[in-house]
């Protein structure tokens, strides 16, 4: 299922096509495609080139690892993420290696690396859905995440599926039009809340 963005201005086609479905076709992802996604993520920009991102990964062809990671998502996300081909948990390091000081850009940088992975997935014809709904404490326990590292998000990757496989409430969201706030609500000039006029 395609659900292109109705952009007001011409943007790259890859961004028009990217969206966050919940319906996946439960098929394995070739190893080569997993490597391509991780390579795209690896080349993201980061503050001081710290590259504070870390990924925990599980593919559906390894049933035990996939089930273990699925259980680290909140129950509402498990309902649909179980059909993904690849699950990723993102973890960031909160301090810089070169001086041990807090890295206030670490979460920003994990967003950049995730964005590159998601856009690469779109270019490969894959679907992705990023999630805040993860069980951070469980992730720390299950995977032995050390002190100073913070689980941030989950990402489901896979082949687009049929919305009719989703529960009614999720199917309704899947089929709803995509919307975005207008520039006037978030692009300001001369002071907070003053639209920049774009």
- Kindly state whether residue 111 falls inside one of the protein's structural domains: yes
Distance between CA atoms of 93 and 135, rounded to whole angstroms? Answer: 18
Provide the number of structural domains found in the chain: 1
Cβ neighbours of residue 197 closer than 8 Å, sequence gap 6 or more: 189
- Kindly state whether residue 191 falls inside one of the protein's structural domains: no
- Kindly state whether residue 169 falls inside one of the protein's structural domains: no
- Kindly state whether residue 187 falls inside one of the protein's structural domains: no
Q: What is the pLDDT of residue 185?
A: 97
**The CATH number of the domain where 92 resides is what?**
3.40.109.10
Q: Domain range spanning residue 83?
A: 20-163
- Kindly state whether residue 12 falls inside one of the protein's structural domains: no
- Kindly state whether residue 54 falls inside one of the protein's structural domains: yes
- Kindly state whether residue 5 falls inside one of the protein's structural domains: no
Mean pLDDT for each 10-residue chunk of the chain (198 residues)?
A: 94 97 97 98 98 98 98 98 98 97 98 98 98 98 98 98 96 95 96 95
Cβ neighbours of residue 165 closer than 8 Å, sequence gap 6 or more: 23, 83
Report phi then psi at 119, rounded to 5. Answer: -65, -40
Distance between CA atoms of 10 and 60, rounded to whole angstroms? Answer: 37
For residue 2, with 0-12 CB atoms within 10 Å meaning exposed, 13-18 middle and 19 or more buried, which class applies?
exposed
Distance between CA atoms of 117 and 43, rounded to whole angstroms? Answer: 10
For residue 17, with 0-12 CB atoms within 10 Å meaning exposed, 13-18 middle and 19 or more buried, which class applies?
middle
- Greatest Cα pair distance, the chain, in angstroms, is 55
- Residue count of the chain, please give it: 198
Q: What is the pLDDT of residue 1?
A: 83
Distance between CA atoms of 113 and 90, rounded to whole angstroms? Answer: 10
For residue 160, with 0-12 CB atoms within 10 Å meaning exposed, 13-18 middle and 19 or more buried, which class applies?
middle
Q: What is the pLDDT of residue 174?
A: 96
């Amino acid at each position: 299922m395609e659900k292109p963005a109705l952009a007001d201005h011409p943007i790259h086609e890859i961004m028009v096509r990217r969206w966050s479905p919940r319906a996946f076709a439960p098929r394995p992802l070739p190893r080569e495609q997993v490597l391509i996604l991780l390579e795209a993520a690896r080349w993201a920009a980061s503050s001081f080139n710290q590259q504070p991102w870390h990924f925990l990964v599980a593919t559906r062809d390894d049933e035990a690892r996939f089930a273990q990671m699925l259980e680290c998502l909140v129950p509402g996300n498990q309902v649909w993420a179980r059909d993904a081909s690849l699950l990723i948990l993102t973890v960031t390091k909160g301090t810089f290696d070169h001086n041990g000081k807090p890295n206030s850009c670490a979460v920003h940088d994990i967003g950049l690396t995730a964005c590159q992975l998601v856009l690469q997935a779109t270019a490969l014809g894959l679907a992705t859905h990023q999630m805040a709904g993860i069980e951070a404490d469980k992730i720390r326990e299950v995977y032995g995440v050390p002190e100073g590292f913070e689980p941030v998000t989950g990402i489901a990757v896979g082949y687009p599926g049929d919305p009719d496989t989703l529960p009614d409430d999720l199917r309704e969201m899947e089929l709803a039009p995509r919307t975005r706030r207008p520039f006037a609500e978030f692009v300001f000039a001369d002071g907070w809340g003053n639209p920049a006029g774009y």
